[in-house]
Amino acid sequence: QVQLVESGGGLVQAGGSLRLSCAASGRTFSNGAMGWFRQAPGKEREFVAAIGWSGGSTSYADSVKGRFTISRDNAKNTVYLQMNSLKPEDTAVYYCAGAYTHFVPTFDKRYDYWGQGTQVTVSS
């Protein structure tokens, strides 16, 4: 099994930037897709971004396209989420997840393992 640990969350003003990291340990990391999801208080968890095993394929939620960028470094067993032009509505707990698939799933049920999450708060 793969263990995931997110970091990089925090408090930022609207218009600012943060970079989230997700470090993996355990079973092989590079053979599957990785994704970021988020959950705001009182709302369901929603897809943010995903990346294929080689990094060549990516997918984004419409709400973050053009502002967020997902990337991965398989040599470091780490996936990143660069978040720019942050808005108060981006406030949520952000979760990293991994899927044993060569596709790039956007549905959370397709993911096999999850991190504990990191809080991102964007003030207006």
Q: What is the pLDDT of residue 26?
A: 80
Condensed to tens digits (0 to 9), the pLDDT of residues 41-70 reads 999 999 999 999 988 899 999 999 999 999
pLDDT confidence of residue 67: 98
Task: Give 77-96 pLDDT, tens digit per residue.
Answer: 999 999 999 999 999 999 99
φ, ψ for residue 43 (rounded to 5)?
A: -120, 160
Separation between Cα atoms, residue 101 and residue 123, nearest integer Å:
37
Helix (H) or strand (E) holding 6: strand 2-7
pLDDT at 29 over 70: no
CB-based contacts of 27: which residues, under 8 Å, 6+ apart? 1, 2
